[in-house]
Every structure is written in structure tokens, then in C-alpha cells.
Chain A
Amino acid sequence: MAAGTSTFLFDIAHLLAGGVLVLSLMLLVQDRLTAVINVFALQAVVLALSVGWQSLVQGAPHLLVTALITLLAKALIIPTALHRIVRKLDVHREIERVIGGGPTMLAGLGLVALSILVVHPVVETADPVAREDFAFALAVVLLGLLMMITRRNAVSQVVGFMSLENGLILAATGAKGMPLVVEVSVAFSVLIAFIVFGVFVFRIRERFDTVDVNVLERFRGEQREHL
């Protein structure tokens, strides 16, 4: 492969992985639940493209399956179901965050810088595609965590968790030749996660007429006797 084409291949891979990261940052600042779900769906589409591209670059056809699963489950089925939940519960206007958009964004940028600083010097031996991808993937994972911490709403915690999982898929596909077993397990965990989340979101709703997990805090076991 000529040096020129290989740089080009890397650039596309980086572009797509970077796109996933940018969408993670966008997720952080969305105020409305419908917007959160839409941005998440878009992130899944870009992720599927990125995985598909990796399949081309690495000559690994099994990655196409992963890309397809990602596209179907995370870009179509899960967002549709989440939209239905939000419509049913009538909470789409809810603005719910612990700290404001500005500080959250700054924290997010800090995490991106941190993951680049951590991964770059460590992974010097690995091939460059994997190295850049890993920095991006770690950043996506950490941003997913940040989102779960700063949101008090069960649905956006779900989305935060699944965007964290997007980061994991990004990392798994960046590692060359990682066996299919693992990708299947990722898809499997997403499915199970969705079942569990679905059950819980409805149960919380059933009990409290809201999906705001703040309401739950009052019921902490140790404090129950004060009620």
C-alpha cells in the first residue's frame, strides 16, 4: 500500500472516530430529552460508519456485522423505544442537570485532554491508527461517565451509559483482529441493558409518576426511619 493512500485511510478513520467524540461532547450540553436521544442516534450512525471503515481498512469482514448491529440496535431500535417512553411519560420538556452547561463542557474538554495525555505516551509501540482511536475511545467512555453523573434523569442516564458503551465498541474495533466473540458480547450486553433499563424506567414511573431519580434519593435505606 502506498504511503499516500495509507495516510488517507488513517485520516478517514480518525475523522469518524473524532466525529463520535464530538457527538459525545454535544450530548453533554443537550437540555431536552428528545434532543439527547437524537444526538445519541446520530452518534450510533457515525460509530457504525467508523466500524464499517475499520472493517475495510483491516480487511476484517466480521466487523461489518458489528457495524450492522450497531446501526440497527443503537441508531434505530433503542432511540425509537426511548422516544416512545419519553412521549408516554410526557417528560420531553424536562431540563434536568446537576451543574450548568458551561462547567459541564469545560469538564468534558478536560477529560478529552486527559485521555489523550494518558494514552499517547503509553501506547507508543502500537500502530498509529490504534493509538489515536484509543485516545478517542477513552474520551468517549469518560464523557459517558460524566453524563451519567451530571444528569438526574433516568432516561438520560440510560443514554449516558450507552454512549459509554459506544466508546467501548470504538476501542474494541480499533484493536486489530479482536475476535468476534467480544463484539457479539457487546451487542448482547447492549440488548440486555436495554431490557433492564426499560423495565426499570417503567417501574420508576409506576411508583413515582416521574423518571427523575432525585425523587428516589429520599428513600435511601438509612434515612427511611426519619420519614
Chain B
Amino acid sequence: MTSLLAALPLAPVELVLVIPALAVPLLVVIPNYRASAIVNVIASGLTLAAGLALLAAARERGDFLIVDDFNIFFVVLTTFIGFTTSVYSATYIGHEIETGHLTPAFVRFYHAMYQAMMAAMNLALVANNIGLMWVGVEGATLATVMMVGIYRTEAAIEAAWKYFILGSVGIGLAFFGTILVYMVASSVVGTGVPAMAWDEIAKNAGALDSKLLSLAFVFLLVGYGTKAGLAPFHAWLPDAHAEGPTPISAVLSGLLLNVALYALLRFKMVVAGNLHAIDVGAILMTLGLASLVFAALMLYRRRDIKRLFAYSSIEHMGIAAFAFGLGGPLANFAGLLHMTMHSLIKSAIFFAVGHVVQAKGTQRIADISGLSVTHPMLAVGLALGVIGIVGLPPFGVFTSEFLLVSASVSRHPVLTVILVAGVILALGALVMRMQGLIFGAPTGKSDAVKASAIPLFVHLALAFAAGLWLPDPLVRWFRSVAALLG
């Protein structure tokens, strides 16, 4: 394996950036949408291969890029879901073209933006330079903004505009925080490029000016927290999920939120290394619980199926933020597992929802019912997805939530009660809605759709397997990353 890696002209860490970046101009010039969908799948597949090759690559650092256990895990997750979503997207987009919702010119643009987003997300993940990390998150945001507005309906444009304005403000504040971090670091590490290298900053965290570092973290929290969809900075999220193409809802929930939380965690590791700085854990726990409870309550009043699951994403990012805020090996382990399981299951749900919406021609929950009769395969997928996402056994979310509760109950009994209450509230809302969607007499129109079942059931099978049995190497991996997170 190692000798095979050495034969490559570029290291895997460069390949995960170069492959999607090269695919962008290629996809722009391919006029045929079938061909471009295939190129999109191939490029995503190659990126996934490069991501997997990272597992065997050396853990090394440069001033600009870094490879460590923490980001390899996220790169593998991102490239995997990027690949399965590209497979799903090929069928989805084919249907949109046949029904005339999208024109081939827009699809060309859509595929190019998809790869641009993958490149930007990978950049944010492998960047060691905190400025480069910011560029990655910003690039991914802009690419998704373009895709959210692609249907050019009133609601889609409004959603894209709102996402853009709030996203830009968030990203502006994150940049201000990044400058502040550089300023703090440059007085210890020395001016220039090393003072922007994350590992140099983290190494010297104890010697940094704690007041300035705390101020910097506040900006970073609001900035990247907006991207991660934490309440009260979440306003863009439901609109962007509801109005864009469904494959984009899947990657927004499954990947972009993760990437933003990852950026926040990198800075958390720096601030936690400084004894006199603010208590980052308490802030993350508060925001996490607020997001969880708020989203759980909001779930009851949703009438749009994609909004419903968008609010569920806010809920789950809240749970993950709470876990990382709590800290310690067990809670961090639970947080990492939760992010992974949420990404897998939530994107699977959006895969099913996308086809349901295509079949029924509406996103209104009230107009969708009796799926078990008309579209049994989608109904099974959706039902399993909902069972998985609300945290019922034997899916992986149950494992992670169970671990989290057992980690927090002895340390913060009162907060644990709120956590459990929020999870149960969300469970009630989603199960109630699911019954209406799946059972009952079929209403309205119901077209046949060429649904791609493979990505959907691969995700569900992985989440199912993880709930029953986690392989030893994976557990060791999560443990070592959890230890890194402190």
C-alpha cells in the first residue's frame, strides 16, 4: 500500500483537492447532461479513493496542509457521502430534466458547482493554515448558495439570498476572529506564515494572551456557528434546505454543517489549551442544548417535508455541539459517532424525500400520504431513516445518544434531563409526521419515479451495522481522535 502511494505523482492530501478542482472546468465544457452526470460520479469516486488512501498516508504537517487522525476521519466521511450523493444526484437530476424543472444549461452549472463545493470542503478540512481553512468554508458556502437558487422560483431566490446574506455575515465575523487569532499568535510564534499554522498555534496555546484569544473565539463561534446551523444563528438553514435541489439538501445537512463544526472544534482545541481563556465547553453546551430544544419544538409546526428534516439537522448539530462542549473521552467519542451517524442517516432521508417530492409533486406534508401503498421502496427507506434519526435502536444514533447521556448524567444531571427531554420531543414530532406520510389512504397525484435505491440503502445499512457492532480499528480510531479533542 505504502509503495503504491509513493508511485502517485501527488500525495493523497493533494489529490482530494486537485481531483474535484480539475473536474470543475471539465464539467463546465461538457454540454450533455448524462455525460456530465457520469463525469461527476467518476470525479467523486476518484476523490473518495484519494480520501481512503489518506488512511495509509503519513501523518505529516506543512505550513499550509496538515494530515492528522482528526481530519482524515472527516475527509473520508465527506468524500464518501460526496460520492454516494453524486450517484443519487444523477437519477434525481435526470428526472428534473425530463419534467422540465431544470434546463441542461443549469445542470452543467450545477455539476461544476458540486465539484467546486467538494474541493472547498476538502480544503477546509485539510488546511493547517487558518486563513486557508476560512477560504475553504467560504468557497463551499458560495458554491452552495449558487445551487440553492438554481430553480429560480421566488422562494428559491429568497432562500438563496437569505443564505447568502447570513452566510456572508457569519463568514465575515469568522474572518475577524481569524485575524485576531493571528495577532495573538504572532506575538508568541513570530510574524509571518507560522503564526497562521494551526498546529503551531495549538502548541503555544498556553503562552497566548488569554483575553484576546477569548475575544477571537467569540467571533469564531458566531461565524462558524452560523454555518453549523446552531441556534440562534440558524435562520438560513431551513430555507436553504427546502428550496434547493434535494441532493444539495443532503450534502448541506450531511457535510457542510460538519465542516463548520469541525472548524469550530479546531479552535476549541486551541482555546482549551489556554488556562485563563473563556470556558469554551460551557458555551458550546449552552448553544447545543438551545439548538436541540428549540428545533425539537419547531418540528411540531412544520408543514413542509424538507423543512421538517432541516430542523431535525439543527437538533442533531445541537446534540453534537453539546457532546463536544461536555468534553472528555466518552462524550467526544459520542460526539464523533453522532456526527457520522447523523451524516449517513440524514442524507439517506433526503435521498428518499427527494424522490417522494418528485413523485407527489409537492413538499407539503398534508398532501403526501399513503406512500407505503404507492411507493413501497421509498416508504421503507423513509421509515427506516426516521427510525434511525430519532435515535431508536438498533441504529447508530441510539448508540451515540446513549453514550452521551451516560457521559453527562453524572457530571450535569439537570442538563441531561433537558437533553433527554429534547430528544424525546423530537422523536414524538418525527414519528407523528412519519405515520401521516407513510400510512393512510394515498392522496393527490403519484407519479412513478426512477428512484436510485442503492445510495439510500447503503447509508442505512452502514448506520444499522454501526448500531449493532463497531469494528475494533474504528473504535480505536475514534478513541484516539476523542483524546486529541481533549
**Interaction A to B:** yes
Chain A: residues with CB nearer than 8 A to chain B? 118-119, 121-123, 125-126, 130, 134, 137-138, 141, 144-145, 148, 154, 157, 161, 164-165, 167-168, 171-172, 175-179, 181-182, 185-186, 188-189, 192-193, 196, 199-200, 203-204, 207-208, 213, 216-217, 219-222, 224-225
Sample (13) of A-B pairs whose CB atoms are under 8 Å apart = A122-B212, A122-B215, A125-B187, A125-B212, A138-B176, A141-B173, A154-B161, A167-B176, A175-B182, A177-B191, A189-B135, A204-B161, A222-B307
A83 to B391, CA, bound (A): 54
| B158 in contact with A200 (CB, 8 Å) | no
| Minimal Cβ-Cβ distance residue in B for A192 | B142
B residues 147-184 in Cβ contact with A at 8 Å: 149, 152, 154-155, 157-161, 164-165, 168-169, 171-173, 175-176, 178-179, 182-183
| B215 in contact with A148 (CB, 8 Å) | no
What residues of chain B lie closer than 8 Å to A145, measured between beta carbons? 169
| A175 in contact with B186 (CB, 8 Å) | yes
| B164 in contact with A196 (CB, 8 Å) | yes
| B161 in contact with A216 (CB, 8 Å) | yes
A225 to B176, CA, bound (A): 41
Chain B: residues with CB nearer than 8 A to chain A? 129, 131-132, 134-135, 138, 142, 145-146, 149, 152, 154-155, 157-161, 164-165, 168-169, 171-173, 175-176, 178-179, 182-183, 186-187, 191-193, 195-196, 209, 211-212, 214-215, 238-239, 242-243, 303-304, 307, 364
| Minimal Cβ-Cβ distance residue in A for B130 | A182
A40 to B214, CA, bound (A): 32
Known contacts A178-B182, A196-B142; A122/B211 CB under 8 A: yes
What residues of chain B lie closer than 8 Å to A189, measured between beta carbons? 135, 138, 171
The smallest beta-carbon distance between B196 and chain A, in angstroms, is: 6
Known contacts A157-B165, A168-B176, A196-B145; A177/B192 CB under 8 A: yes
What residues of chain A lie closer than 8 Å to B238, measured between beta carbons? 221
The smallest beta-carbon distance between A173 and chain B, in angstroms, is: 10
A217 to B243, CA, bound (A): 14
The smallest beta-carbon distance between A19 and chain B, in angstroms, is: 20
| A179 in contact with B193 (CB, 8 Å) | yes
| Minimal Cβ-Cβ distance residue in B for A173 | B179
| B157 in contact with A216 (CB, 8 Å) | yes
Known contacts A122-B215, A221-B243; A165/B172 CB under 8 A: yes
Known contacts A122-B212, A171-B176, A200-B164; A177/B186 CB under 8 A: yes
Known contacts A157-B165, A176-B191, A200-B161; A219/B176 CB under 8 A: no
| A182 in contact with B131 (CB, 8 Å) | yes
What residues of chain B lie closer than 8 Å to A121, measured between beta carbons? 211
What residues of chain B lie closer than 8 Å to A157, measured between beta carbons? 165
Known: A141-B172, A207-B154. 12 other contacts (CB 8 A): A172-B175, A175-B183, A182-B196, A185-B135, A185-B138, A196-B145, A200-B164, A203-B149, A204-B161, A221-B242, A221-B307, A225-B364
What residues of chain B lie closer than 8 Å to A207, measured between beta carbons? 152, 154, 157
8 nearest interchain CB pairs?
A: A177-B191, A219-B154, A216-B158, A182-B131, A122-B211, A185-B135, A175-B183, A171-B179
| B307 in contact with A203 (CB, 8 Å) | no
Secondary structure of the B side of the interface?
A: helix
| A196 in contact with B182 (CB, 8 Å) | no
> Out of B157, B173, B176, B178, which one reaches A203, CB within 8 Å?
B157
A99 to B375, CA, bound (A): 52
A200 to B157, CA, bound (A): 8
The smallest beta-carbon distance between A180 and chain B, in angstroms, is: 9
- Residue in B131, B178, B211, B307 whose Cβ sees the most chain A Cβ within 10 Å: B131
| A123 in contact with B182 (CB, 8 Å) | no
| A222 in contact with B303 (CB, 8 Å) | yes
What residues of chain B lie closer than 8 Å to A167, measured between beta carbons? 176
| B168 in contact with A161 (CB, 8 Å) | yes
The smallest beta-carbon distance between A58 and chain B, in angstroms, is: 9
What residues of chain B lie closer than 8 Å to A221, measured between beta carbons? 155, 159, 238-239, 242-243, 304, 307
> Out of A126, A138, A181, A217, which one reaches B183, CB within 8 Å?
A126
What residues of chain A lie closer than 8 Å to B214, measured between beta carbons? 122
A178 to B182, CA, bound (A): 7
| Minimal Cβ-Cβ distance residue in A for B210 | A122
A124 to B222, CA, bound (A): 24
A208 to B303, CA, bound (A): 26
The smallest beta-carbon distance between B337 and chain A, in angstroms, is: 32
| A126 in contact with B212 (CB, 8 Å) | yes
What residues of chain B lie closer than 8 Å to A199, measured between beta carbons? 146
A196 to B141, CA, bound (A): 11
| B161 in contact with A181 (CB, 8 Å) | no
What residues of chain B lie closer than 8 Å to A148, measured between beta carbons? 165, 169
| B142 in contact with A168 (CB, 8 Å) | no
| Minimal Cβ-Cβ distance residue in B for A175 | B183
| A175 in contact with B179 (CB, 8 Å) | yes
